Amino acid sequence: MALYNSLRGKGLRNNKLFGKLHRLVVRTFLSKKGFILETKERGGSVKFLPFEEESFLMQIIGDHVEGMTRIVSDRLTSDSVFVDVGAYEGLYTFYAGRRAINGTIYSFEPNPEMFRIMQENVSNNKIGNVIAVNKAVRDKVGKVNFFVDEKDPCCSSTHIENIHQLSEKGSITIDSTSLDSFLVDEGKIKRVDFVKIDAEGDDGLVVRGMKKVIEKFRPKILLELWLSGLNSAEVSPLEVFKIFQSYGYKPSLISDCKKGDLVQMSWDDLFSSLESNKLMDFSNLLVE
């Protein structure tokens, strides 16, 4: 494990020797015990839920965390209000909480087990400015079926076609809300500076349900652009793009998640790429 930890995060996922070591560690240790990510930049650590497949850990091995979290933290100030939709284990919540020490972090996570891990990470790292909400974020308030993924908990979704393997629990009924309802209609929030959305197929519904937030606060938004997932919720990527365009946002695609490199684009370019099927099924979109 010491050798593995010393190499993890060095961009070696394509190295055959390290690949074998990685698979051995995943199958022998991490699938049962979970995974602890030490965060050197701001101190502390974040625990990940145990899992059976390597896909989630491969995201960490691939160093996507470093660049993506920097995109967020560089756009926050000490008193920012950050909204984490699909907080999972709380990694973005961790970075935002350390950056916006006098601000507020609203962290939404629908999966009860992931929510527990997120709360544990917040507590262990002594981040006192987090409001954790165990609800799905969509375009309306109510109840929704939630399908727990047995192999990769972070892929659990309100859409059964989006998961790899249904757990023994099957589906559970959870509460849902919208950002408009939670942040605007109750009238308690005076600002929202940044919203990160990674909702496993419900991302378009989240955007539909945050128009009042955009009108009132115009936050920067980081969105996982999963084309297949958007379609499973019957929200077209074009609809999402046009919502952002109508509010005067300028789009950038993240070309290198490790470095956090951004490629500024026009909406016409994005529309064209979408129409010609040149957009990757998975990408990340920043609008500001």
Nearest partner of 279 among 227, 203, 244, 231, judged by Cα: 227
Largest CA distance in the chain: 55
Question: What is the predicted pLDDT for the residue at 59?
Answer: 47
Mean pLDDT over 82-111 rounds to: 93
Q: Is 195 helix (H, G, I), strand (E, B) or coil?
A: strand
Characterize 88-101 residue by residue with b for buried, 16 or more Cβ atoms within 10 angstroms of its Cβ, and e for exposed: bbbbbbbbbbbbbe
Q: Look at residue 151 and tell me whether its pLDDT is greater than 90.
A: no
| 189 vs 226, higher pLDDT | 189
Q: Look at residue 171 and tell me whether its pLDDT is greater than 60.
A: yes
| 164 vs 137, higher pLDDT | 137
Q: Is 100 helix (H, G, I), strand (E, B) or coil?
A: coil
pLDDT digits (tens, 9 = 90+) for 197-219: 998 778 999 999 999 999 999 99
Q: Which of 26-30, 74-78, 130-134, 150-154 has the lowest mean pLDDT?
A: 26-30
Structure-block tokens of residue 147: 């399908």
Q: Are 230 and 200 in contact (CB under 8 A)?
A: no
Average pLDDT score over the chain: 79
Query: Starting from the edge strand earliest in sequence, which strands make up the sheet with 194-197, in order?
Result: 130-133, 104-108, 81-85, 194-197, 220-226, 282-287, 251-256, 261-264
Q: Look at residue 280 and tell me whether its pLDDT is greater than 80.
A: yes
Q: Which of 33-37, 74-78, 219-223 has the lowest mean pLDDT?
A: 33-37
| Residue 143 one-letter amino acid | K
CA atoms within 13 A on the CB side of 229: 25
Displacement of CA 117 from its chain's centroid (Å): 15
Non-local CB neighbours of 212 within 8 Å, separated by 6+ positions: 180, 184, 185
Question: What is the predicted pLDDT for the residue at 168?
Answer: 65
The domain spans of the chain are: 64-287
Mean pLDDT over 221-235 rounds to: 82
Question: What is the predicted pLDDT for the residue at 28?
Answer: 47
Displacement of CA 191 from its chain's centroid (Å): 21
Structure-block tokens of residue 102: 């006098």
Name the DSSP class of 183: I
CATH entry 3.40.50.150 includes domain 64-287: yes
